[in-house]
Amino acid sequence: MTEDHVLGEIGEVLQGKAKGRESDDTITLYRSMGIAAQDLICAHHVMIEAGELGIGTDVSIM
């Protein structure tokens, strides 16, 4: 993988400035940079989208 494969940053995707997945065959990689706030926002976005699509599994971590 090279920089040519990078189409945008996670924040740009969430803001609609960069395209995310366009089909089920598309693979998206998210490279966490160790910034907790960014990781939490990403996780929240995924959780909300999964809820709206009716997919995923709720689990208790306690």
58 within a domain of the structure (yes/no): no
Residue 61 lies in a domain: no
CB atoms within 10 A of CB 41: 14
Q: What is the pLDDT confidence band of residue 52, given thresholds at 50, 70 and 90? A: very high
Q: What pTM, to 2 d.p., does this model score?
A: 0.50
Residue 9 lies in a domain: yes
- Overall average pLDDT of the 22-43 stretch: 83
What total number of domains does the chain contain?
1
**pLDDT at residue 11 tops 90:** no
pLDDT at 43: 87
Identify residue 43 by its one-letter amino acid code: A
Closest-CA residue to 42 (of 60, 23, 28) = 28
Does the structure show a pLDDT above 80 at 33?
no
Question: What mean pLDDT do residues 16-43 have?
Answer: 83
Range of the structural domain that residue 42 is part of: 3-53
